[in-house]
């Protein structure tokens, strides 16, 4: 992977993490760094899921892929927040 691909993956992961955090209602007990990590992981996993469902490459904006990524980020933020709250 080239450096430009890595940078774009991080930027997209940041956006996905923030959107995932906005979807989860209430206060999350995790910091911004964990939100970014969850977002990057959700972006990568969401791309793999979308490719598996054959919806990753469409004409125009890949809305279904974005929704999958945001949904995974919301699940990740909610799960991590629950674990951190129990600490």
Would you say residue 62 lies in a domain? Answer: yes
Note whether residue 57 is domain-resident. Answer: yes
pLDDT of residue 8: 83
Total domain count, the chain: 1
Is residue 13 in a domain? no
What is the pLDDT confidence band of residue 1, given thresholds at 50, 70 and 90?
low
List, for residues 71-80, the tens digit of each pLDDT value: 999 999 999 9
pLDDT digits (tens, 9 = 90+) for 9-29: 788 888 998 999 899 988 888
**Cα separation, 27 vs 58, whole angstroms:** 35
Give the pLDDT confidence score for residue 52 in this predicted structure. 92
Supply the pLDDT for residue 47: 86
Q: Could you tell me if residue 30 is left (phi over 0), alpha (psi between -120 and 50 degrees) or otherwise beta?
A: beta
Residue 23 lies in a domain: no
Residue 22 counted as domain residue: no
Phi-psi region of 62 (alpha: psi -120 to 50; beta: other; left: phi over 0): beta
Q: State which residues form the domain around 42.
A: 28-87
| Residue 49 domain flag | yes
The pTM for the full model equals: 0.84
């Amino acid at each position: 992977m080239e450096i430009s691909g890595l940078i774009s993956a991080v930027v997209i992961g940041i956006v996905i993490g923030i959107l995932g955090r906005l979807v989860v209602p209430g206060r999350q007990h995790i910091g911004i760094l964990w939100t970014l990590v969850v977002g990057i992981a959700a972006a990568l996993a969401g791309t793999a899921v979308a490719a598996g469902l054959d919806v990753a490459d469409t004409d125009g904006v890949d809305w279904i892929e974005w929704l999958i990524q945001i949904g995974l980020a919301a699940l990740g933020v909610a799960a991590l927040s629950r674990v951190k709250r129990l600490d």
